[in-house]
Amino acid sequence: MALYSEKVMDHFRNPRNVGSIENADGIGEVGNGKCGDIMKIYLKIDGDIITDVKFETFGCGSAIASSSMATELIKGKPLSDALQLTNTAVTEALDGLPAHKLHCSVLAEEAIKAAVRDYYDKNGIPYDHSQFPDCSAYCH
């Protein structure tokens, strides 16, 4: 069996939503201290809807595929969907990742949640801190 699914290879070779958003409403940047990979998510939010999302990932192929898939999963969706997104959902949507690459999908979940939290912080919107992963060591 191939190490990577066709979906992973597709999103790695043709990543969706690559780039940045000028005047983004929320920006989340996270990194993994072990592999050194960095992921940045930009959100455009209108009311409660994520109208646009883009990413910049300086990392491995699985991180690029995970960011691409994660952005597809939340684009056009309410913020609550982004907050419920798990790395497991990203991995399943990619038809799986090798065990030693699961942390790449965790980065996507954390970057999206960090971007939502940034939006809440910038707009003084109160939120339940337990909704967010404890990424204080590396969230910006």
Q: Rounded to 5 degrees, what are φ and ψ at 113?
A: -65, -35
Q: Contacting ligand FES (CB under 6 A), which of 29, 37, 109, 118?
A: 37
Q: How far apart are CA 107 and CA 19, in angstroms?
A: 17
**Closer to ligand FES at the Cβ: 25 or 37?**
37
Instruction: Report the interhelical angle of 6-13 vs 61-74 (nearest 10°).
Output: 90
Active site residue 35: yes
Indicate if 104 belongs to the active site: yes
**What is the spatial distance between Cα 105 and Cα 107, in angstroms, rounded to a whole number?**
5
Check binding of 71 to ligand FES (CB under 6 A).
Answer: no
Q: Is 32 in the site for ligand FES (CB under 6 A)?
A: yes
* CB closer to ligand FES, 43 vs 106: 106
Q: How far is CA 125 from CA 48, 118, 122, 129, in A?
A: 12, 10, 8, 12
Of the candidates 30, 74, 97, 104, which one interacts with ligand FES according to CB under 6 A?
104
Per CB under 6 A, residues contacting ligand FES are: 32, 35, 37, 59-60, 62-63, 101, 103-104, 107
Residues carrying an active site annotation:
35, 104
